[in-house]
Chains A and B, each alone.
Chain A
Amino acid sequence: MSKMAPPEEVMKVDYSTPAEPWMDVKPEFKLGNYSYPGKPDVLKYLGLPNPREWDPTQEDWKLPPDWREIVTDGFRELLKKYRSLKVFMDVCVRCGACADKCHFYIGSGDPKNMPVLRAELLRSIYRGEFSVAAKILGKLSGSRKLEEDVIKEWFMYFYQCTQCRRCSLYCPYGIDTAEITFLARDLMNRIGVNINWILEPVANCNRTGNHLGIQPHAFKDMMDFLVDDIETITGRRVEPSFHRKGAEILFITPSGDIFAEPGIYTFMGYLLLFDYLDLDVTWSTYASEGGNFGSFTNDKWMKKLNAKMYHEAKRLGVKYIIGGECGHMWRVLNQFMDTMNGPADFLEVPKSPITGTVFNNAKSTKMIHLVEFTADLIKNGKLKLDKSRNAGITATWHDSCNTSRGMGFFDEPRYVLENVVEKFVDMPAQTIREQTFCCGGGAGLNNGEFTEMRLRGGLPRGNALRYVQEKFGVNTMSCICAIDRATLPGLADYWAPGVQVTGLHELVGNALVFEGEEERTMNLRQEDLPGVEGSEEDE
């Protein structure tokens, strides 16, 4: 990454538009604004076309000789398969309501990051290749021919979109850029134009069950390590099981939770909660990835990776599935899973064994979110919680894009949070709930080489966070998405230094009071609990 200017400089975004029409402006690939291409062996493993070494900064992208045909045929195919695409190509009136809603536009000022223009990158080809009237009128109608520069522009801007859907909320026709980006990426995949940070996780998820390529024995090792940590912190030995046939519940969470801070603390929170409830739950190394990297690629890979969840649930003979804190996992689960891989008629409608609550809102998919499960426990008084264990925390809540605009989780997580921390404040109204701002790392863009652009895209979220930090002393941002937990710490370090990022169940794990437990002196991060450290420090 090139040296990043300080926040007060980066905030001075130039929103003026270039003198020349957008079709005449070529994308400029610089370190920090694009992601590295897919590696040949990964493409070969996935059976994707045109595996080769190539570099986006070079003139020659080594496209297949018939690339133009592949793209136009593919476009035609998608227009026949997706009404959404067809309608979205036809009905935009370019009113511009979406223009200043994208975090990448707000942070970069690049007009091609205005959702309307991002879609026009595709729409101009749609008109140029498929509309007779537009063909006759040519450039005047906003249509153009498919040239290599167009592909380069697509690569730049459809990999500068996190599919957060914020623009879609404001569009009078509900035009969904996530859908457009998704299908544009599908088209690019057909000619071997893709990024490695998506494809390698897809390959890993397929083979090893998680996006990091952790093999089963290593996965278990990591879990054992966290179990040891829990013992150090609480004195309790939790005993999670793997692949246990006949268990009531299969639990699946994004694998980011087991691999890196701060996700691991959330993971420990899950383990503690299950132990507290003596829940009949089992884990799987085979289906150990909730996050669906296939959904950043095409519908085939999305379906194939998602199918593992039901496949494993069936093999183990569980009654239903609970899912952990993850964003895209829930977009796919909520809106695609049952369609692609249902009906889940071998499972039962989820019923909490602790409270008896039947989750009718998941009566077809038979999969519920842990936050619903936990909120129900708290509401029914089944958890003894001690907020003072999180006493040093003034928390705010980050509504992860996919659990907000892709699903509609707002009150459940806030309810849980308010029950485990003493101080909670929301960020300003136009930056939360359905209007929430993206962390900048969604849809496969949380890679190292893209950091600069991601931090620029993090301006709206970072600025809202700094506002509550300065005004209310917020020092913790909690969320229910693994990409958030990976992206937000860096974003906070840059835009609002001093704010830490937690998952929700990390805070639940901290607050849980076990019967007859030994007194805790540390939180899950093995930091001294407030009041405990005082005795030494005061001296």
Chain B
Amino acid sequence: MAGLVTAFLAVVALAAVAALGAGAGMANVFGIAVPYVAVAIFVAGFVKKVIGWASTPQPFSIATTGGQQQSLPWVKQAKFDNPSTPFQTVVRMALEVLCFRSLFRNTKLDNRPEEGRVAYGSDKSLWLFSLMFHYSFLIVLFRHMRFFLEPVPMLVTGVEFVDSILQIAAPTLYLTDVFFVVGVTFLLARRIWDPKVSYISLVSDYFPLFLILAIALSGIYMRYFAKVDVIAIKQLAIGLVSFKPVIPPNIDWSFYMHFFLVCVLWAYFPFSKLMHLGGVFLSPTRNLPNNTRMVRYINPWNDPSIKPHSYADYEDDFREKMIEAGLPVDKEA
């Protein structure tokens, strides 16, 4: 509970800082200085973390197998849950990263002592809403390219067109905006209401959810309610990416709030669990093939000086008893 409240208040405070600060003539700070610093922290932090993982040896090949191994020719292998070749492993990783394969498998414990039964029902809610959240986030992010690029590429306008296909309201409603908010709200609600999950939740679990929700809501406010000056914002964005930053007049405070929260997310990212974005590719239970009997896997720190208690020493210890029992020995007594 303390974690929930702290995270909520932290996000409210951050939003207030930006809203008040920008209003008080600090647009330069929130429009130019903060984004540069935040992106620098993100890039440096992300790279450092990934290099830290990648440069640490993976001593053993420890694939978790999710189906039949490669075996006799007539036994059908579960190629993508128990891969034995690099290609199959890449497919397994792709299914994991793109389709959240492991979460798809999720079950829910249903203990019914009065019936004397324990059941494990399929539970795809976490899979569904996580997928919804992540893909909406990706598309929303992609749509934002129109602010940074001139001319706007066809692909970006194409995605926008599909995303606003229902043409509800003016400006037209993006479907991903809705899915995004629904997804993140589900993840937050689940974290609060499922006692198991709330028991393990830390500030660092609630904070990114509140932060992302605040980013989404402030963005929606800007677009649909404040109806901010998009031309001016694009001018600012292009100024930033071309390293000729300008602060156009007439940008609503709500933009600075939205933008500042995004910057906080960038800067926070490398130090948080959000690094699962990078880590998922490095998980040795998923990114290694289960071919360890076919191909020797090398452990760089394998210590050749560790030897078994030798047979010779063993025989020295038990020779007489072995001879008496009629067991062959290498050296006679």
Contacts and interface: CB of A to CB of B under 8 A. Distances in A.
B68 to A, nearest CB: 5
Interface in A273-329: 285-286, 299-300, 303-305, 307-308, 311-312, 315
A364 B294 contact: yes
B71 to A, nearest CB: 6
Nearest to B105: A170
Contacts of A412: 71-72, 75
Contacts of A408: 65, 67-69, 71, 78, 82, 290
A537 B276 CA distance: 67
B205 interface: yes
A17 B297 contact: no
Given A209-B314, A304-B307, A338 B109 contact: no
A334 B289 CA distance: 12
A2 interface: no
A268 B157 CA distance: 73
B108 A410 contact: no
Contacts of B276: 91-93, 172-173
Q: How large is the interface on A (under 10, 10 to 19, 20 to 34, 35 or more residues)?
A: 35 or more
A14 B237 CA distance: 55
B275 interface: yes
A88 B62 CA distance: 13
A61 interface: no
Interface string A88-129: 101111111101110000100001001011001000000000
Interface in B157-185: none
Nearest to B55: A83
Interface stretch (A385-393, A430-438, A479-487, A516-524): A430-438
A460 B117 CA distance: 9
B52 A285 contact: no
B325 A86 contact: no
Interface residues of B, number: 101
B196 interface: yes
A367 B326 CA distance: 28
A506 B58 CA distance: 39
Nearest to B70: A361
Given A114-B200, A217-B318, A408-B65, A87 B282 contact: yes
Contact of B196 (A79, A92, A100, A120): A100
B85 interface: no
Interface string A208-225: 110000011100110000
A528 interface: no
B117 A463 contact: yes
Interface of B: 2-3, 6, 49, 52-54, 56-72, 74-76, 78, 81-82, 84, 96, 100, 102-103, 105-109, 111, 113, 116-118, 120, 126, 130, 194-205, 271, 273, 275-276, 279-280, 282-286, 290, 292-299, 301-303, 306-311, 314-315, 317-318, 321-322, 324-328, 330
Given A176-B285, A300-B306, A338-B297, 7 more contacts: A96-B197, A172-B100, A172-B103, A173-B286, A375-B75, A411-B68, A411-B71
